[in-house]
Amino acid sequence: MKITVLGCGALGQLWLASLYKQGHEVQGWLRVPQPFCHVNVVETDGSVFNQTLIANDPDFLANSDLLLVTLKAWQVSGAVKVLVGRLPANSPILLLHNGMGTLEELRSIHQPILLGVTTHAARRDGNVIIHVANGITHIGPGNEAGHHFSYLADTLHNVLPEIAWHDNILPASWKKLAVNCVINPLTALYNCPNGDLRQHQNEVSDICHEVAMVMEREGHHTTPEDLLYYANQVIESTAENISSMLADVRVERHTEIDYITGFLLQRARAHGLLLPVNSRLYEQIKRKENEYERSSTGLPGSWD
Ligand SMILES: NC(=O)C1=CN([C@@H]2O[C@H](COP(=O)(O)OP(=O)(O)OC[C@H]3O[C@@H](n4cnc5c(N)ncnc54)[C@H](OP(=O)(O)O)[C@@H]3O)[C@@H](O)[C@H]2O)C=CC1
Ligand SMILES: CC(C)(CO)C(=O)C(=O)O
């Protein structure tokens, strides 16, 4: 397949390296208008992929069979809207990010859209991307046109396993959102690795209660106990990790809070629900983010 990967950060480079190794034709798409991108990934087994690949080639984009979007949630809709008109009309766009709400921002797009959430972990260490842990990527249709692309699960599974196809991706997206609502703001506020949340079980449980209320109203059956069990599983399996939100706060980068807790609160409002615990966490993270964004000159990201 011919694939453009939009966003060549940690996940983007992991996918570029894996696709290239499986013989797919790939290019990266960068924010800066540069015709090449360096992809430097250390795999979980210690092997190194280090290649310079083409980037930002409009002809390649116009012939791409897939646009794989590996941006932060708040970067997605602006960047996709700029590129969508240059893709073949039937080529799908796969959005792979934490948080929810980008689909709503892309409602005007008729292109087939797929949504994905992943438990793979990769992080930048200087100029190198370390693939920290293997995981599962759940993908499924984000709009009507996306339903025709279940075959992509097999193709992508051969590239970066595991891939699971879901005819309805929303339950998997909400489950991941629940975990991110718990771990991301709490670790960012306590400035601690995920495992330290074992000592904050009351807050973890309160967040799960509120998320479960919203999920039920959204039509995804769950219980606070199920979510608590799952959140604690992830806290254990990623105990040593620095969450992406804490990593963002530490280097004073815009966080994904608006698409994680912010999205939850938006859905709660639509159902007339009040979520005091999540509202407080949202405000605390926004206050932190505002402090450093107010003191810097640049606004977060620009996508053209
Ligand atoms: N890394 C991981 O292990 C995991 C990540 N995720 C999620 O996946 C998503 C991507 O994460 P991750 O790869 O870590 O993020 P990164 O910040 O490492 O990657 C995003 C990349 O996109 C670039 N970018 C920003 N705007 C544009 C644009 N308009 N056009 C082209 N490129 C652009 C950024 O460049 P610049 O920095 O120069 O702006 C950056 O290189 C996030 O939602 C994250 O939460 C989910 C699970 C695991
Ligand atoms: C699951 C979790 C919390 C793992 O660190 C994550 O997705 C993140 O850090 O954004």
pLDDT value for 296: 81
The closest residue, in CA terms, to atom 48 on ligand 1 is 121
- pLDDT confidence bin for 156, thresholds 50/70/90: very high
pLDDT value for 53: 98
| Ligand 1, CB cutoff 6 Å, lining residues | 6-12, 29-31, 70-73, 75, 79, 96-98, 118, 120-122, 124, 244, 256, 301, 303
Average pLDDT of the segment spanning 225-246? 98
Residues 56-111: pLDDT tens digits? Answer: 999 999 999 999 999 999 999 999 999 999 999 999 999 999 999 999 999 999 99
Domain boundaries, the chain: 2-167, 171-295
Q: What spacing in Å lies between the alpha carbon of 11 and ligand 1's midpoint?
A: 7
Q: What ipTM score was computed for the predicted complex, to two decimals?
A: 0.99
**Cβ of residue 69 lying under 6 Å from some atom of ligand 2:** no
Class level of CATH domain 171-295? mainly alpha
Going by C-beta distance under 8 Å and a sequence separation of 6 or more, which residues neighbour residue 219? none
Query: DSSP secondary structure string, 234-273?
Result: HHHHTTTPPPHHHHHHHTT---SGGGTHHHHHHHHHHTT-
Question: What is the CATH architecture assignment of 2-167?
Answer: 3-Layer(aba) Sandwich (3.40)
pLDDT above 80 for 304: no
Q: What spacing in Å lies between the alpha carbon of 72 and ligand 1's midpoint?
A: 5
pLDDT value for 295: 85
Indicate which residues carry an active-site annotation. Answer: 176
- pLDDT confidence bin for 131, thresholds 50/70/90: very high
pTM score of the predicted model: 0.96
Average pLDDT of the segment spanning 264-293? 98
**Cβ of residue 102 lying under 6 Å from some atom of ligand 2:** no
